[in-house]
Structure formats: structure tokens, C-alpha cells
Structure 1
Amino acid sequence: MKVVDSYSRVVRLGEGLAATGQLSEDAMDRAIVALQACAQKLLRRPLRRVLAVATEACRQAANGAAFVARAREATGLPLRIIPAREEAELAMESCTPLLRPGDRRALLFDIGGGSTEIAWIRREGGTASLIGYISLPLGVVTLAERAGLCCFTRQGFESVVDEVAEALRRFDSVHCIGQEMRSGGVRLMGTSGTVTTLAGVALALPRYSRPLIDGRVLDCEDADQALRDLFALGREGLRTHPCVGPERADFVLPGCAIYAAIRRVWPSSCVTVADRGLREGMLQRMMREEGSRSRRPHFTARHADQPFS
């Protein structure tokens, strides 16, 4: 797979959602501007298929479906809201190539803006399958908004850790993940801005570098020290940190609190850091489906799939 273009913008689509149950007009406007930029980029390429998805903010919001319809009209993109299970499956699909020989299970966490997904994965031979998953309605944006800047205080940070850990223990009690981890052969994997930031800080990078982070096996003691370093910086220090910056300064510590809860419930000596996730899972799925389609016998000269325009 060769990446020919990439585009990313922080739009905070779920801003205000926890308080109102709705996507705000400002947040929707920001998201549509970003999606229009994506659509313009796509028009410059010869396309076979386009896959565009919306996740937790649109799942939660009472006007989520209306926003998706509006975005489709404004951009021409075939945007759809995917269920939490499909989101977990796509993250699994993108990250399982990072598993190593001897890994029989993987625990994958994805700390997002509006939710946190945990995927419990079985690996048999070269095939990975989803044993179970949980989607917590707790993400870096929802936590930052709900509690203001409480994660910048020790008491507030610990209260978030306690809350998330309690929800994770219920998931653990169903799947006995902790017991499996103690038996060995279980890899802890993380994908999201939180864990990649912790890796960047632990490696003392002068600026964030994906090639140095993606697939990095980080000692959890080093990640814990990076967390302590980030907490000590405070809000202004985070704004100027080369691996954080002003757009993400308010969201790093809520993400670190979720990570700390994961570490509390499922202690591990190391964590594999993935700078990949939903997008890469979507690409891999499309490539696999295209490969499968090309191997099928063709009975007519006409293809069912038409290029996106």
C-alpha cells in the first residue's frame, strides 16, 4: 500500500454533545469544511471506490443522522454511521499486522474524542478474530468538556481513572483478560493520539514522527514516566510541547487518564504503539474486497462498481 495523499484536521465534532445531546452548528460547520477539502482532494484522483464513515459522535447525537445527510449533500461523499463493533473490527484489521510470533491474543485500545473502544482479539495462525469489544462513551473531548479542566489536578485525574477502570473491570470479568495476560502470549496495543503522544514524549522527539512511532514497542515504565512528565507540564506547557501543541493541549490529560485506567486493570510490561487505526482498516478492507472481486469469474463485460464522481 502506498499513501499518495493525506489530510487531517481537528474539528471537535462532538463539542458540546455531552451537555446537549446534539451536534452543535459550529462543530458541524467545521466538520463539513474539512470534508469538503477531502472531497476536493479525491476529485483530483482516478477513483474506484470511496469509503467514508462517521463514528461515536454521530452515533450518540440526536441529530447525527441529519448531519450525515447534510454532509453527503455538501460534499458528495457516501458518508455513513458505522456501529461500534464495525469500528472495533476496522481498528483490529489495521493493527494486527503489528502482532509478533507467539502472540495468541491481543488487547487493543483506541482512545477517541467521543468514546474509547477496547477490542479483545484472538489470533490463530495468520488469522485474527474479534472475541469481544466494549465501547465506552468516554473520550478525550467528552471528558474535557464534562469536567472542565479537572484532569489538570491530581484529584480530578484520579477520579477519571477510577471511573474508567470500574467500567473496564466489568468487561474484564466477562472475558477474564487479566488472567489470560498473566498466562502470557497477550499483546497490549494502543492506537490514538494519546498513546502516540506518550511514545513521542518517552522518545524525547523534537517533533512528532510517524515512522519512528508506528509499531514501536514501548516499555510501560517509560510510558508511565512520559505520562508523569506531561501532567507536570500543565496546560501552558502542553500548548508549547512539540508533540502536543495548542489544538490538543486540553485533550491530552483526559486521554492519559483513560490510558492509566487501562494500565491499572490490565498491567503489562510493554505496549505496542500503532499510528494507524480506522482509516488504515478501511483501506485494507477495500483492498481485500477488491482483490476478492477481481478473482471472481466475470460473466459480462460490464462492472457493477462505478468510479466515484
Structure 2
Amino acid sequence: MATRNNPRRGKGEQRRYRNRHRNGSGRWHHIYGAIDLGTNNCRLLVAKPQGSSFRVIDSFSRIVRLGEGVSLTGMLSDEAMERTLEALAICSDKMRRCGVTRMRCVATEVCRKALNSEAFLTRVKDECGIELDIITTGEEAALAADGCAPLLDYRNKNALVFDIGGGSTELIWLGLNEKRRSEVLGWMSIPCGVVTLTERHGGRSISEHAYASMISDVSEHIDMFESEHDIAANIRGGNVQMLGTSGTVTTLAGVHLGLPRYNRRKVDGSWLNAKSMRDVCKRLAQSDYETRVSEPCIGHERADLVVSGCAIVEAMHDVWPVKKLRVADRGLREGLLHGMMRVADNEPRKSKEATS
């Protein structure tokens, strides 16, 4: 998997970019690792610089369900911590084998909420050699938007980016300009994710009434964000792009495309028209657990959570009826990588004497 170079940057300009940053202590002197530990997933990317972006040389993703039961008990369970430590040990080994020299490892909603998070982070450092940073909701939103930036269409005036997580859903309202730059105009972290909603409304078996209640729970928060930014009026004007990054939207895309197994190349950057998106959501919401398990892009790991993800998507579309949604299989980890590389570029250059 590789992030593409800016298509507007010519080969000559890309060459000058590489040469400029190789002559010093910039990004070219490092291999980077980024870990995103969420309520449901543990994800790793290891990358080398390429052009103005990067090329992924290793990756890892595992559903660990760290947040299982936290919405009910307020505590990370022993079983969930053990599953997560096992996954993080694999991440640590991969980074060591790849020769990672710069890393940033972050934890999100579940570690912001759980009462025993600090003790867990101490175990992670002692047993895996990884220092996890619990980031704020604001930084999480900004990193997700940065990671998805290559999929934004800057001919639009605005973009609405959402990231459905296990414990929360991030909303980011962006202003776009012709210089291919974006500005965060507003953001909100909704305390509704696929794990928390599922635990609140019935687990594997979701009734029609429970599904409607999920949508209602999410809509309360969406209405607040809408009243602040008047996004629906901009959508009616036809100059807003909606982009979703999460396991929910990539799963919906995979199901819609009828993929025999998940294929990132076909999903990342794809488009879902509104009718197709809602048709898939309704079909999954009305199906039983075994039927969802039989879907190749869902399986046992997501079959109980995908319905709550569908409810979040439908709640958003009720308020923001875009004609189509762009799907991103990228986000926070890519934002972490971009950030580390920019930091390296801005560090003082090493003298010839120091590097000889």
C-alpha cells in the first residue's frame, strides 16, 4: 500500500523535493512507525518517505475490542488488555524488524474514558516497549482529516469528514481552497461508536425499535453540530464533499461491491451513491447475525458491530443528504506519519562534520 504523490506535482518538481530534503536531517533519514489504538482495533503502519508522501513497507491490523464492557463498568477488562498487549507486542516486533527510527503511538476514546487506563499504559510500556499517548478528541479529528487529505476534491468549497470509531464518532467540517489547502472550521466528538451503541442497544440481535433508537441517539448530537455550522444549506448548494473513514464505511463499500474478500485497492477512494449506501444499511440492519457473518467483508469480527455503524451513517444522512459518499481506508495513522515527517523536515540540518 502506498500513498500517491500529489498528481499536480511534476516529476522534475518531485525530484527537486527529494533532493532538497535529503541534504540535511529531514524526513529521508528515518523510517516511521504509527500505531492507532482504538476502542475496537489496533492498527500499525510502517513507512518510508516517497516523494512528498510515503510508501508503506509493513502494516498490521487486529480487532482487539479493548473497549469491551467499558461503557458498562468504566474499566478495561483483564481479557481485553491481554488481547491488546498481544497485538501491541506484534507491532513492536514489526517496528524493530523494519528499523523504525521515529514512531508515534496513540490511544483514543476508550483510554480517555477507562478509569484504569494509566495502569494499562504502564503495562504497555513495560511489556511491549511502546509509549502510548492518549490524544484529545480535537487532535484525533485533525489527524484523521490530515490522513484523508489526498482524497479531498478541492474544487468544492467545503468537506465533511467523519470517522466512526468503537467508542466515539468524530465529525470534522473543513473549508477548502484552490491552493489544495484545508482549514478546520469545526469539529465534534460524538460519544457514540459501534461498540458503545451495540452494548447499549442489544448486542448481536438488534430489533427494529433498537435500530431506530440508535439513530435517535446519534441524531441528537448531529443536530447540535448542524445548528452551529449550517452544513445542510451548503449541501443544498452543491459544493460539499462528504468523506467517511472507518471500518463501517469500508465494510459498506465492500458489501456494496460484492467483493469475495476485502480489497483495499478497490475500496479506498471509491464512491457510494446515497441510495446504494442506505440500501446496504437497511439490508444489514434487517438481517440476522448469521446472515451478516456470511458476508465476506463482515465475518464474525464485525457481524455484531456493523448494524450500529449503519445507524450512525443513516443518522448523518438524515441531516446531511449528500448525493454520494467517498470512502477512505486511511485516516489517523496516515495523519501521524505526515506529522512526523513534517517535524523531521523542520529540524535543524546536520553539519557535514557531524555526519562524517
Same fold at TM > 0.5: yes
User: What value does the CA root-mean-square deviation take over the aligned residues?
Assistant: 1.6
Runs of 4 or more above 4 Å deviation: 299-303
Instruction: Specify the alignment match of 2:215 in structure 1.
Output: 161
2:110 paired with 1:51: no
Are residues 265 and 41 of structure 1, via their aligned partners in 2, closer, same or farther at CA, if it must alter by over 3 Å?
same
Q: CA deviation at 1:300?
A: 8.7
69, 82, 85: which one aligns with 2:135? 82
The question of whether the paired residues in 1 share the 8 Å contact of 2:121 and 2:131 is answered with no
Q: TM-score, normalised by structure 1?
A: 0.93
CA distance in 2, matches of 1:199, 1:218: 7
The question of whether the paired residues in 2 share the 8 Å contact of 1:151 and 1:254 is answered with no
**May I ask how many residue pairs the two structures share in their alignment?**
301
Q: CA deviation at 1:151?
A: 6.5
Q: CA deviation at 1:105?
A: 0.8
149, 153, 171: which one aligns with 1:96? 149
2:249 paired with 1:195: yes
Are residues 128 and 203 of structure 1, via their aligned partners in 2, closer, same or farther at CA, if it must alter by over 3 Å?
same
Q: CA deviation at 1:159?
A: 0.9
Q: Secondary structure at the match of 1:208?
A: coil
2:241 paired with 1:219: no
Instruction: Specify the alignment match of 2:184 in structure 1.
Output: 130
2:61 paired with 1:8: yes
Between structures 1 and 2, the one with greater strand share: 2
Instruction: Specify the alignment match of 1:256 in structure 2.
Output: 310
CA distance in 2, matches of 1:91, 1:260: 21
52, 76, 80: which one aligns with 1:27? 80
256, 262, 268: which one aligns with 2:322? 268
The question of whether the paired residues in 2 share the 8 Å contact of 1:121 and 1:131 is answered with yes
The question of whether the paired residues in 1 share the 8 Å contact of 2:267 and 2:327 is answered with yes
258, 266, 280: which one aligns with 1:204? 258
2:114 paired with 1:114: no
CA distance in 2, matches of 1:40, 1:132: 38
Q: TM-score, normalised by structure 2?
A: 0.81
Q: Secondary structure at the match of 1:205?
A: coil
CA distance in 1, matches of 2:300, 2:266: 22
Q: CA deviation at 1:73?
A: 1.3
CA distance in 1, matches of 2:192, 2:93: 33
Q: CA deviation at 1:298?
A: 3.8
Give the letter for the 1:143 counterpart.
L
Q: Could you list the per-position Cα deviations for residues 109-168 of structure 1 after superposition, in whole angstroms to 9, with x for gaps in the alignment?
A: 111111111111111222112111111111111111122238621111011101111111
Q: CA deviation at 1:299?
A: 6.0
The question of whether the paired residues in 2 share the 8 Å contact of 1:150 and 1:157 is answered with no
CA distance in 2, matches of 1:122, 1:252: 30
Q: How does 1:61-80 map to 2 (within 5 A)?
A: 61-80=114-133
The question of whether the paired residues in 2 share the 8 Å contact of 1:165 and 1:262 is answered with yes
Instruction: Specify the alignment match of 2:29 in structure 1.
Output: none
Q: Could you list the per-position Cα deviations for residues 179-198 of structure 1 after superposition, in whole angstroms to 9, with x for gaps in the alignment?
A: 22222211111010111111
